A and B are shown apart, each in its own frame.
Chain A
Amino acid sequence: MLSERDLLTRVQRLTVTRLRVWVAQGWIKPADTQAPSYSEADLARATLICNLEDDLGFAEDDVPVLLNLIDQIHGLRAELKVLLAALDELPPDLRATVRMQITQTRGPGNR
C-alpha cells in the first residue's frame, strides 16, 4: 500500500490539491479511506488522469465522461472474460454447439 506522499512523489505533476479533488469527485477511490492509502492500480489511474488532462488536452469536465466509459469497458471486458473462461470449461461437444450457435446468432451480415 502507498501513502498519499508516496503517490505524490511517484506520479509526476500530481499535486495534493489535484489528488484530493479527484478523490472527492470519486475518480480515485483510496483502498483505505481512513488513513488514505493507495494501491498500484490507484497510482496507475492517477497517472492516467494526468495523461488525459495534461498530455492529451482534455478538459476537466471531460475526465468523468472518459473514466465512466473506460470503467464500463473494463466492466464489459471482465464479464466477457468470465464468460469465456466458463465456456472453456465445457466439454468439447458442448463448446462446438456454442460455437455453432454464436455463428448462427451473428448471422451473415452481422460479424
Chain B
Amino acid sequence: MNNLAKFTIGIFATLGVAWLAFVVGARSQYGDLEPTAQSLEEDGSIPADSELFPIALSGIAQQGSEEYAALGCVACHTQQVRRVETGFDVDRGWGKRPSVARDYVLQEHVLLGNSRIGPDLANLGLRNYSDEWLHQHLFEPQSIIPSSLCPPSPFLYDEIEEAADSDIVVNSDAGERFIRPSIRANRLVAYLQALKQDYELPEMSFIETEDVEADLDDTAEQTVVASNDAAPQWLQDQINAGKEVYMKAAVGGGMCFTCHQQNGEGLAGQFPPLAGSDWVLGDKSRLIKISMYGLMGEIEVNGVKYNNVMAPPGIPPGSLTDEQIANVLTYIRNDWGNSASAVSPDEVATVRASLKGRPPMQMFTNSELSPTEQ
C-alpha cells in the first residue's frame, strides 16, 4: 500500500478484471452478431432465399434516430422489451416477444434507455399509429392524450394560418391549429414508425400471451345460456366471441370487465352499468364510436350522472377490430337480462368510415355524441 507503483497496479488490476469481462469478454461473445433468418436449417445454416432480420433502418429513419438522441427522448422512453420472467412488458402489449441483442446490431445509436416515464417504444411501429397521429403527438401530445406528460415540440413544426388539405390539424385547447412538419419532424416520425421487432429469431420466438381471463362465475354463465336459449347459432357464436373480448385482459382483448364488472353492473358512482343501460340498449352508432375511441367527461346513464374517463377499449388501446367491436357490443346487448339487436361488423365498418380523419385515441365527449341521440 505504501508503494505507489504497486498500489496503482493493484487498483488497475481489480478494475481490469471487470473490464476484461464486460468489455473484452462481452465483445468476443457477441460482438460479431449478424442478421439471420427467422428460423435456421437443422444444421444451423441460414436457409437459402430467406429474408434476414433485423433489417437496417432506412436513410431517413437513420437520421431520425439522431434527432431522437439529440432531443433526449431516451430520458423517458426505453426501447427494450424485457424477458417475461423479469418484467411485464409483453403483458402490456409492448412487444410480441422480448428483445434480444441481435435486434440492435444494425443500429448506429443504441438507445435502450433506463427510465420509463413514457411507455416503451421498441415496437412503436407495430401499434398502427398513422404518421399524422405521431405528428400531432409530437406537436402537442396533450391534444390527443390529455393526461400525457410528454413535452410538446412545436419547434419541429411550422404553424400555418391558411391551411391546405395536406396540413395536419391539431385540436389543442386553443382551438384548431394547422401545422406543417419540418424535415426533422418527418425524420423523427420515419424513425418511430421503423421501430418494430415483428420477426422471430432463432434465439427468440413470439410469446403466446396467456389470457388473463377472469374466472367466470357460474351464475353469470347460466344467465347467458338461459336468456339466449332460443338464440340462433350465429347469434350465440357472436355472443360467445364477444364475451371473450369482454373478459380478456391481454393483448387483443377488451378488458371491459375491469370497470363494468363481470356482472355488467359497473361500480356505483364511478363506472356506469351496462345491464339495463339506456346507452347500451339505445343507439348503436354511438356505442360503436365509444368502442373505437373511448369516452370522457360527464354523462348520464339511467338518470345517474357519471364523470370519468373511458380510454379507447382494447389492449393496446383502440386496437379492437370491426369484428371484435361487433361481437362485444352484441354480447353486452344480450347478457345480464339485456336483449337487443345484434351489431354486425359491416355496421362498425360504416361508422369507422364516417369517422375517417379523426385522430386515433381522441376520446369522444357527451356533447359530440348527443346530436345522434335517438
Q: Do A and B bind each other?
A: no
List B residues at the A interface (Cβ < 8 Å): none
